[in-house]
Chains A and B, each alone.
Chain A
Amino acid sequence: MKNSKGWFWIFVGPVLLAFVIVVIVPMITGIYYSFTDWNGIGNDANWVGLKNYTKIFTEDKDFLNAFLFTAKFALVSLITINVIGFGLALLMTKDFKLTNFFRSIFFMPNMIGGLILGFVWQFIFTKGFDSLGKLLNWSFLRGWLADPTTGFWGLVILMSWQMSGYMMVIYIAAIENIPESSLEAAKIDGANAWQRLRYIIMPLVAPAFTVGLFLTLSNSFKLYDQNLSLTAGGPHNSTQMLAMNIYNTAFKFNKLGLAQAKAVIFLITVAVITLTQIYYSKRREVEM
């Protein structure tokens, strides 16, 4: 037992080393770089104070657009993904044969990476929708992804298709944890299906909603792969999300200091939004 300090570092040390080098050090140096004119060429970065930050808030229209687009996307997809996911979970917890088979189908899109899925849907929106539109003579199916509106909804559809199966799995676990007896009791007391859903299932599933909302929200804000492969931000950066804006600022325009200032704002935004959401959901869990 004498050497317990030594053992502590032998066990914790390796992963801590990787973690510190990969997450903590870049996090701290990143904050420093956000106050400099770092351009990636050479190692000199001169202190410029708050210049990057004022530039972002006063001159950088693209960043503001990306911010608003991302927020709008996060809000809409948060609703669609969770509503569809919860609906699927309700369906999949009714006892009929083959539920396991259907669950696997609904979950399947999650297995495949966002980059590949974005390309898949690019084909469906541009070619598939187009020929269906011709076939049925529905003009709204034509020209998808060519303007900001269809680009936005294309992204929402893609993400709902990909992620609602994931939410379904989480909600199924929560629904299956509800004691059979409380549903039976409500039935005997004359509660109809809607009342049972509203006053028994939903409150008991509330903790899972906290998780589901957290995952969809943080995922939407950080989205990059699908954004890149579906629209690449186009047309004219109108469907560009935050992560892509940071990437382009850094690697297309070589303004790494500016990009890093955006990254810091991004970090604060994601942290504040997800923490706020968890706080409110937790409070509602108790009230419900």
Chain B
Amino acid sequence: MEGKKKSKRGTLILTIFLAIIFLLPFYIVLTNSFKTQKGIFLNVTGLPFGKFFTLENYVNAFKELDFVHSFFNSLLITIVSTVLIVIFSSMAAWMLVRTKSKLSSFLYFLFAAAMLIPFQSVMLPLINLMGRIGFLNRGGLIFMYVGFGASLSIMLYHGFIKSIPVELEEAATIDGCNKFQIFWYIIFPMLKPITVTVSILNAMWIWNDFLLPQLVINRPESHTIPLKMFYFFGQHSKQWHLALAGLVIGMIPIIIFYILAQKHIIKGVTKGSIK
């Protein structure tokens, strides 16, 4: 018994040690973001006290990042894309599961196989095509997210819907419901657990995505947070006091979201990867 207790304490100490290592980068960035430029130059490891303490970094970074704007751009793009992905992927997946035909299985195979295609291998022709039809910036970006998000989302919905008995729908058909009514009143509410997973996976990806917005958004007023961060950082690469405050500001929304929804997020990630 004594030995077991000891090993338990050992496990706990090891875990705490590892947790500190994992948090250390955040700690270093946070503490230094409150220092003046000279304060960082003189001492990175210390706490921001005395004459080296400042809040001005935050005021300036907030302004330069045009944070209110870029935050709402990110939010708008993430929410609209995720909602559209959820609606259209669940509809398609249901139809693909319930239709037994060669076309249906071929389309499912096509969506699944496309998971292997890296974004970089299609980005040049894609941007060229979208540029030619004049469908860039926020609208075009959202459209492209629906296309890229389709594969994983349809696979997740497909797997889930297969386990729902078809009898329910048959009863509704006899009662005179059309496909739309059956899907939205009977099926979609039952998909809630997998909808949470699909939403979280897509929202995390879209919120943090950098390369696609960089290629697609050419108006500064439509910049998302990662995009603004990139240009902001380019301008202040030697001014760490500003850059660090900007990084903290950029991380705050997603960390708040994580604290609020972490249970769903971790569950969603688990389900999304088992597939």
Contacts and interface: CB of A to CB of B under 8 A. Distances in A.
- The answer to whether A and B assemble together is yes
Interface of A: 1, 4, 7-8, 10-12, 14-16, 18-27, 29-30, 33, 40, 43, 88, 91-92, 94, 96, 102-116, 119-121, 123-124, 127-128, 130-132, 135, 161, 165-166, 169-170, 172-173, 208, 211, 215, 218, 221-222, 224-225, 229, 242-243, 246-247, 250, 256, 259-260, 263-264, 266-267, 270-271, 274-275
Contacts of B44: 127-128, 130-132
Interface in B69-89: 88-89
B127 to A, nearest CB: 9
Nearest to B133: A21
A116 B250 contact: yes
Contact of B254 (A112, A173, A208, A270): A112
B189 to A, nearest CB: 17
A11 B11 contact: no
A18 B111 CA distance: 12
B22 A26 contact: no
Contacts of B67: none
B183 A11 contact: yes
Nearest to A211: B273
A128 to B, nearest CB: 5
Given A16-B92, A103-B266, A264-B121, A211 B229 contact: no
B22 A12 contact: no
Interface in B229-275: 229-230, 233, 240, 243-244, 247, 250-251, 254-255, 257-258, 262, 265-266, 269-270, 273-274
A104 to B, nearest CB: 5
Interface stretch (B55-63, B190-198, B204-212): B204-212
Contact of B19 (A10, A106, A229, A274): A106
A263 to B, nearest CB: 4
Nearest to A275: B116
B147 A12 contact: no
Contacts of B132: 43
Contacts of A12: 91-92, 95-96, 107
13 contacts: A11-B183, A18-B144, A18-B150, A96-B12, A106-B19, A111-B255, A112-B254, A119-B229, A123-B243, A170-B270, A218-B118, A270-B118, A270-B121
Nearest to A95: B8
A250 to B, nearest CB: 6
B61 to A, nearest CB: 13
A111 B258 contact: yes
A128 B147 contact: no
Nearest to A30: B125
A105 B22 contact: yes
A108 B24 CA distance: 12
Nearest to B120: A243
Nearest to B11: A94
B240 to A, nearest CB: 6
B120 A224 contact: yes
Interface in B113-165: 114, 116-126, 128-129, 132, 143-144, 146-148, 150-151, 154
A27 B146 contact: no
A40 B144 CA distance: 20
A62 B223 CA distance: 32
A22 B257 CA distance: 30
B121 A266 contact: yes
Contact of A274 (B96, B116, B146): B116
Contacts of B250: 116
A107 B273 CA distance: 15
Nearest to B28: A128
A277 B41 CA distance: 47
A22 B147 contact: yes
Nearest to A268: B121
A190 B89 CA distance: 51
Given A18-B146, A29-B129, A96-B8, A91 B210 contact: no
B124 A259 contact: yes
B105 interface: no
Interface in B42-60: 43-45
Contact of A222 (B120, B144, B209, B243): B120
B120 A263 contact: yes
B214 to A, nearest CB: 9
A5 to B, nearest CB: 10
Nearest to A177: B274
A96 B15 CA distance: 11
Contact of B146 (A15, A94, A115, A121): A15
Given A18-B143, A106-B22, A225-B210, A26 B125 contact: yes
Nearest to A33: B125
A94 B143 CA distance: 45
A163 B119 CA distance: 20
Nearest to A135: B45
User: Most chain-A Cβ atoms within 10 A of its Cβ — which of B43, B117, B121, B125?
Assistant: B121
Contacts of B114: 19, 23-24
A23 B117 contact: yes
B92 A27 contact: no
B45 A128 contact: yes
